[in-house]
Amino acid sequence: MRVGLLYSRIRTDEKLLLEELRDRGHEVVKIDVRDQQFGLSGSSVDAAELDIVVDRCVATSRSMYVTEFFASYGVPIVNPPEVAGTCSDKVKTSLALEEAGIPTPDTRVAFTREAALEAIDDFGYPVVLKPVVGSWGRLMARIEDDHAAEAILEHKETLGHYEHKIFYIQEFVDKPGRDLRVLTLDGEPVAGMIRSADHWITNAHRGADTQQLEITPEIEDLVRRASDAVGGGLLGVDLMETEDGYTIHEINHTVEYKALADVVDVDIVGAVVDWLEEKAATSENGAAKTAL
């Protein structure tokens, strides 16, 4: 198959994927989105020559728009813009999980400092303030008291961009110094890891210790349902442990897998490419039937 790889920076994750695709004899068209132009009826890349496109853009804004264009050109894309749109926005993710009846931290959204302070007061301290769009634990704040709340909210109000004036406030989950990441393919769990750290933010990107996670039937059921709630695809589903069971707090649509691959005995990249081959074949069959 001929695979388009959307990127703006080739990281280890992308190198692993490129190596696996090429080892299997697939042709890869690397598409640096910084160099491209996308029009209403076509782009500087001949989309008709591609069997499937994989979005590996680091910047969410680029990812959101470029996937929309390729979807409009009729090319199968991983992940589709609808999935990316839900997973890249924490508000949309929270709503999708809640509507599907999946445990997720209690969340409030406010648009003024005064309303945000009222929401924080309702929760009680500590609370967590997150950007509606963002990854790697950046710009997240654990707020411990009124003074910190007033200062952080004021700073966000003055940052300029409208997203900083959307106050996404979440209950603080007192997790046991770790959270869980499960990589899924259309809801099918491939592998998982435990990310542990002394800091309350336990992202592997920030140096958390990682080890393999045993995926229990309870975890498998939750991540399958969470994947279905946002539309499926290649996803990283993040869970936290609570006294009442697991809660899902985030779903990543351009999931990184190097840290996971380093701690499990599963061929992560091989599984991803198997799945991409199936997606491309299914799309070809569907197109052939439509043409007939």
| DSSP, residue by residue, 3-63 | EEEEESS--HHHHHHHHHHHHTT-EEEEEEGGG--B-SS-BSS-GGG-SEEEE--SSHHHH
Work out the pLDDT band at 154, boundaries 50, 70, 90.
Answer: confident
Check whether 289 has a pLDDT greater than 60. Answer: no
More confident residue, 135 or 208: 208
The token duo for 71 is 């979807």
Residue scoring higher pLDDT (158 or 27): 27
d(CA 173, CA 182): 19
Closest CA to 277 of 54, 67, 56, 70: 54
- Domain 175-270, CATH: 3.30.470.20
pLDDT at 287: 44
pLDDT tens track for 176-216: 889 999 999 999 999 999 999 867 666 666 667 899 999 99
* Architecture of the domain delimited by 106-171: 2-Layer Sandwich (3.30)
Token representation of residue 97: 């999980």
- Average pLDDT over all residues of the chain: 90
Spatial neighbors of 86 by CB under 8 A, at least 6 apart, are 92, 93, 96, 230, 231, 251, 253
pLDDT in tens, 224-281: 999 999 999 999 999 999 999 999 999 999 999 999 999 999 999 999 999 999 999 9
* pLDDT over 90 (residue 45): no
Q: What is the pLDDT of residues 161-180, one digit of tens each?
A: 777 789 999 999 988 889 99
d(CA 66, CA 82): 12
